[in-house]
Structure formats: C-alpha cells, structure tokens
Amino acid sequence: MKSSSLKLLPDWFISYNKFMARNNDTWLADLRSQGNPREIALSDLNEIILRMLSSALTRWLSPENEHFEPFIEDVAQETLLRVLDRLDTFEGRSKFTTWVYTIAIRIALSELRLRKWKEVSLDQLEESQEPDQAPFETFSNNDPNPETVIEQKQTMMKIKSIIDHELTPRQRAVMMAVNVQGVPLDVIAQRLGSNRNAVYKMMHDARVKLKSRLELEGYPPDELLNMFGN
C-alpha cells in the first residue's frame, strides 16, 4: 500500500511549530540557501500545503475519494516548483505562506475545474443552450396586469435583439456559457486555447458594449441586473 504523507501529517502542535518557525525573510533565505536548510524548508512548506489544501478542498473532492490524496500531493509538488521558480516575484506584501496558498489554490482549482467539465466541449455548450429563453426567464414574474406582462415581453425582445447585434457569436457563446450555465472561465480558456485573463477581458469588452448600447436605448442598468441569470 502506498505510503501517504497526508497520513503522516503532524497534529496541531507540530503544525503550529511549522508555521511559527519562520518569518518571510527566513522562508526566503532558507529556500534560497543550499543544502540542509533548503531541504527542511521545502519539506515544511510541503507539509503546510498538504495540511491546508486537504482541509480547504473537501468541498470539491471528498477525502474518502481514492484520488484525493494523490491529487493533493501532486498539487503540493507543483506548487513547490512554481514557488521556487517565482521566488523573486514575491514582494513581501503578505505573509509568505499566504502567497504560497494563492498559488496552490489556483493550481488545484484549475485542474479540478477542467476535470469536472472535461466531457463538455464549447460547441456542445453553444448547442445545448436555448438563447430564446434561458437568460430571459429571470425577467418573468407573476404580475397579473397584462399590460405589464406585454411591456416586459417587449423589453426582453429588444434586449435580445441588442445582444444578437452587438456581440460577436463567440462573445455571446462565452457570456451564455459562463453566466447561464456556470462554466468556469478556466474551462472556456482551455477550450479556446487561451487563458483566464484573456477570457475575462473578452467578457468585459462584451459587457461594456452591451451596457453602453442598452443605456443609449434608454434601459438603465439597474433593470438589467438579472440579465444572463446573474
């Protein structure tokens, strides 16, 4: 049976010592040193990452799952490599360990999102949506006044036509996938051969375009809060 470093995790008292053993300067000095201090620092950091991730990721992956421990261990290893690679970019504006957590969490979540959505292609997402209905259902209410209902319907039609005209097909597909179907930006980015930052910017451009056009047409943004289901 595979021995797991998670099973050997220290109790609270030992963890406490690991956390308190170094400040930012000594973490950096030890990790930049050669030989023993570096090895000990790497081993301590590995333990801290394992401990924290195994608690934080239980919402995503059950600790009972056979993949849980190997996954957390892989993420910790990948995190250590990235931390060493980017050590010079740490500016000391937070605790060193907090900076390391941001890296570990990003590595873990990016991978978990891709695993969760791996069967779904962007084409499927575009095909499976129902653009005539999905984003607009949130506008409907139970107002018994037929005039209000007709007015709302007209507003919906107008907004739909603006969306169709203002956004490129790709912008539309991405907005729908993210905001209606809850597809993570990471997954969209991977399908498009892009990255999360670029996908966010694409969505931002689309939102700005849509907002300014809708305002020009006399629809105040407050009324549009529910658009795209958010």
Partner 1 sequence: MLAKTDAHEIACDDVFKVLAEFAEMKQRGKDVAEMMPLVAKHLDLCPDCREEYEILMDVLKLEQQILA
What does the binding site for partner 1 look like in residue numbers (CB under 8 A)? 12, 15-16, 19-20, 52, 55-57, 93-95, 97-99, 101-102, 105-106, 109, 113, 178-179, 182, 184-186, 196-197, 200-201, 204, 207-208, 210-211, 214, 221-222, 224-225, 227-228, 230
Shorter beta-carbon distance to partner 1: residue 39 or 137: 137
Structure tokens at 13: 């008292």
For residue 71, the minimal CB distance to partner 1 (Å) is 15
Q: Say how far residue 206 (Cα) sits from the centre of its chain.
A: 20
Other beta carbons within 10 Å of 138: 15
Closer CB to partner 1, 39 or 217, in the complex: 217
Q: Give the separation between CA 146 and CA 98, rounded to whole angstroms.
A: 56
Cβ distance to partner 1 smaller for residue 41 or 52? 52
Spatial distance between the Cα atoms of 21 and 40, rounded to a whole number of angstroms? 11
Q: How far is the CB of 98 from partner 1 (least distance, A)?
A: 4
Report the C-alpha gap between 104 and 88 in whole angstroms. Answer: 17
**Least spacing, CB of residue 36 vs partner 1, in Å:** 25
Contacts for 210 with CB less than 8 Å, ≥ 6 apart: 162, 163, 166, 167
Torsion-angle region of 92 (φ positive above 0: left; ψ -120 to 50: alpha; else: beta):
left
- Least Cβ distance, residue 5 to partner 1 (angstroms): 18
How far is CA 104 from its chain centroid? 13
Question: By C-beta, is 30 or 96 nearer to partner 1?
Answer: 96
Nearer to partner 1, 63 or 221 (CB): 221
Least Å distance, CB 154 to partner 1, is 19
